[in-house]
Amino acid sequence: MSRFDSNSPLAVHVTGLCRSFRGRPALEDIEVQIPVGSVFGLVGLNGAGKTTLIRHLIGAFVAQQGTVRVLGMDPVGDSQSVLRRVGYLTEEDSLPTWMRVGELVDFSRAIYDTWDDVYAAKLMDLFGLSRSDKLSSLSKGLRARAGLLVAIAYRPELLILDEPSSGLDPLARRDILEAIIRTISEEGRTVLFSSHLLDEVDRVCDSIALMRASRIIETTTVDQLQTRYEEIVCRSDTEMPPAIRGVFAWQGDDSEWSGVIDHEVVPETEFVVPAEVKLITRREITLHRWFAARAGTEQSSASELHDDHLQEVTSDVR
């Protein structure tokens, strides 16, 4: 579903970005490249650093180290130009609730040169909103739709959605948000989408960056995940997961175990299941399983596996 190629210019280019709060790192050595026209997903556990990264992109934080470019500009130095071309919707319910929907629309219309009246009217209809609705008396879901309307009716070149789904009901999420994301990217504009909802990320994103403990530990596509990882299910009469080189993030009990094979650690030609382990199946990895394996705080990352557990496992097998 790619609508861009490797020569596309970058809508977002972050290099070596670091940020600490009172000496505690929130972002470490962040590198992000988002080509124009793509849908980029940002995933990670709570506190991984997603919102802090996004706040740098809208110029709310000054980079302590590294550079941030959005649509070729510095979001702090060129903040007005950046904000006029970027749409931003967060999970926070931050709309001025003393306004009616019509006033919110008129207010936003006055700010953005590119405001599209026809599109705004279409969205209002689609979202089931009317100009006379008081924001304060709307449900959380309808207020989230009003926020989405004013974030996209000026057709921003880059739309940043930071956990936008929390206020939206499942129907709105699937039918409205996903349709909008698709339209935006099909029109050659770019979307950065931070979400806890992996099914949604799976359906709409061209590439996905996984944040863990203030770092981006992997940037991938769903296809690349299938090539690199696989899930293995096996039986072994041990209290501990079986030792198989290249397999990490074991889950299970003392008889049936499921692990993730990392083919960057062990190529297919070298992958061996020890004789005492009964292989039940090998199957494609899901985004959920990959996330659980890589985003967690336990010994689950492939790099950690490389560093220590692999040493143990390798020596056990050989």
Ligand X SMILES: Nc1ncnc2c1ncn2[C@@H]1O[C@H](COP(=O)(O)OP(=O)(O)OP(=O)(O)O)[C@@H](O)[C@H]1O
Nearest-approach distance from CB 60 to ligand X, in angstroms:
10
d(C-alpha 9, C-alpha 157), whole Å: 13
Nearest-approach distance from CB 77 to ligand X, in angstroms:
21
Is 52 one of the binding residues for ligand X (CB under 6 A)?
Answer: yes
Task: Return the axis-axis angle of helices 140-152 and 101-111, rounded to nearest 10°.
Answer: 20
Is 49 one of the binding residues for ligand X (CB under 6 A)?
Answer: yes
Task: Return the axis-axis angle of helices 178-186 and 140-152, rounded to nearest 10°.
Answer: 10
**Closer by beta carbon to ligand X, 26 or else 135:** 26
Contact predicate 168/197, CB 8 Å: no
Contact predicate 231/282, CB 8 Å: yes
Contact predicate 149/119, CB 8 Å: no
d(C-alpha 257, C-alpha 235), whole Å: 6
- How many Cβ atoms are within 10 Å of 41's Cβ, its own excluded? 25
Q: Which of 11, 17, 30, 48 binds ligand X (CB under 6 A)?
A: 48
Nearest-approach distance from CB 76 to ligand X, in angstroms:
16
Tally of CA atoms within 13 A in the half-sphere of 24 that contains its CB: 7
Q: Which among 40-48, 177-185, 275-283, 288-296 is the span making contact with ligand X, rule CB under 6 A?
A: 40-48
Is 21 one of the binding residues for ligand X (CB under 6 A)?
Answer: yes
Q: Which of 35, 39, 51, 153 binds ligand X (CB under 6 A)?
A: 51
Is 26 one of the binding residues for ligand X (CB under 6 A)?
Answer: yes
Closest CA to 43 of 203, 179, 193, 180: 193
Is 23 one of the binding residues for ligand X (CB under 6 A)?
Answer: no
Is 296 one of the binding residues for ligand X (CB under 6 A)?
Answer: no
Is 297 one of the binding residues for ligand X (CB under 6 A)?
Answer: no
Is 32 one of the binding residues for ligand X (CB under 6 A)?
Answer: no
Is 160 one of the binding residues for ligand X (CB under 6 A)?
Answer: no
* Residues binding ligand X (CB under 6 A): 21, 26, 44, 46-52
